[in-house]
Amino acid sequence: MAIDSTFWVAVSFFIFFGGLIYLKIPQKVNGILVQLITDIKNEIDESEKLRTEAKILLDNAQKKLNTAQSVSDDILSQAKKDSDRLIIELNDKFHKSSEIKKNSTENKISQMKEAAIKEIRNASVKIAVDSVKKIITTSIDKSKLDALFQKNLNETKEELKKINS
């Protein structure tokens, strides 16, 4: 049997693997791989935990956003109702105010009309009295005039007493 290079390669191969087994290299490689697998599992668990927390935070934020949206809708709705009510109140106040001003103006016009009629009446009476006075002084003598004046004065006094009582 001839010892050739294949024999020596086979021998060196067994010695090499024997040395590896003697030095416990496969166990160390297995330990390192197990450690890497454990680290990767821990990172996956941690990422799963973070994803769950993120989902919870997202749900909470969404609930707060929905609540804020509903509150803002309520506020807008209430503001619209208040503004509508205020517009109606101001409109009513305006109409009431204009009605009061209209009535006041009509009363003033009526009073001014009555005052004008009274002034015209007084002026007419004064003119009539002056005219009658002129006519009487020019056409009637003094003694008849004094008697007529006394008679009219007495009648006027009686009428004033009736009006005052």
Which amino acid does the sequence have at 85? R
* CA-based nearest residue to 133, from 149, 118, 121, 122: 149
Reported confidence tier of residue 77, pLDDT bands at 50, 70, 90: very high
The torsion of the CA quartet 32, 38, 43, 46, rounded to 10 degrees, works out to -160
Which pLDDT belongs to residue 88? 92
Residue 130 tokens, joined: 């002056």
- Is the model's pLDDT at 1 over the cut of 60? no
Residue 142 tokens, joined: 């003094």
**Domains of the chain by residue range:** 34-164
CB 3 within 8 A of CB 10: no
Q: Whole-angstrom Cα distance, residue 148 to residue 51? A: 124
CB 142 within 8 A of CB 150: no
Using one digit for the tens of pLDDT, what is the confidence trace for 16-61?
A: 888 888 888 888 888 999 999 999 999 999 999 999 999 999 999 9
* CA-based nearest residue to 86, from 96, 94, 97, 98: 94
Q: Whole-angstrom Cα distance, residue 1 to residue 43? A: 59
Q: How far is CA 14 from CA 7, 9, 26, 124, 145, in A?
A: 11, 9, 15, 156, 176
Strand ranges inside 67-142, DSSP E = none
Q: Average pLDDT, whole number, for the chain? A: 87
Residues 6+ apart with CB under 8 A from 53: none
